[in-house]
Amino acid sequence: MSATPFREEILLSANDTRAVIQRMAERILGDFSQPEKKVLVGIRRGGAVVAKLLRARLDEALGRQIPIGYLDITFYRDDLRTIAPNPVVGATDLSMSIDGRQVILVDDVLFTGRTIRAALNALFDYGRPERVELAVLVDRGGRQLPIQPDYAGGHFEAGAREMIKLAERDPGEWTVVRRVPEG
């Protein structure tokens, strides 16, 4: 069985992606209170990249490092049995305590809300944060659960068969692309 051919459209160039991340960081900083309580937690894989990029901007503006961690949600997914017989599992790295902290949960693309639900379940297995906010690079609509971002870099509508994803074109150069099946 061959893969379905698709055409790819760049929604955000690498320069656009950097600019969107900068604007997201500025909005987050505008809401910052108690920066010593803030931590970033990126959802593996794309959310981890966005979290690193956001952290660099936040650290630069604050003159200090925001703690960052990474969360793998593979075993918390409600579709685990349908995604693949041998799912790729990444490492969860929450070396800091999240108890009583203000967590900014970061993902690349928000679609149905199911990934975020799984991430919240996983996150609470590691502690009890004071607050959780959601930052996403792209909100593509199509929610199946009542989950909305506190910070969204951009909004792009996409059909049910389309995919929007963060893609590394050159080392360290990230773009946002829409993949549309042909035929």
Domain containing residue 41: CATH number: 3.40.50.2020
| Whole-angstrom distance, CA of residue 81 vs CA of residue 129 | 30
| Whole-angstrom distance, CA of residue 158 vs CA of residue 18 | 22
- Give a yes or no: residue 41 inside a domain: yes
Residue 69 φ/ψ region, left for φ over 0, alpha for ψ in the -120 to 50 degree band, beta for the rest: beta
- Give a yes or no: residue 149 inside a domain: yes
- Give a yes or no: residue 110 inside a domain: yes
Domain, as residue range, for 150:
6-30+37-79+89-181
The mean of the pLDDT values for the chain is: 90
- Give a yes or no: residue 142 inside a domain: yes
When computed from its CA atoms, the radius of gyration of the chain, rounded to whole angstroms, is 16
> What's the pLDDT tens digit per position in 15-73?
999 999 999 999 999 988 888 899 999 998 899 999 999 999 999 999 999 999 999 99
- Give a yes or no: residue 95 inside a domain: yes
- Give a yes or no: residue 10 inside a domain: yes
pTM for this structure? Answer: 0.91
Q: Residue 183: pLDDT above 70? A: no
> What's the pLDDT tens digit per position in 88-105?
666 788 989 999 999 999
**How many structural domains compose the chain?**
1
- Give a yes or no: residue 1 inside a domain: no
pLDDT of residue 61: 94
- Give a yes or no: residue 106 inside a domain: yes
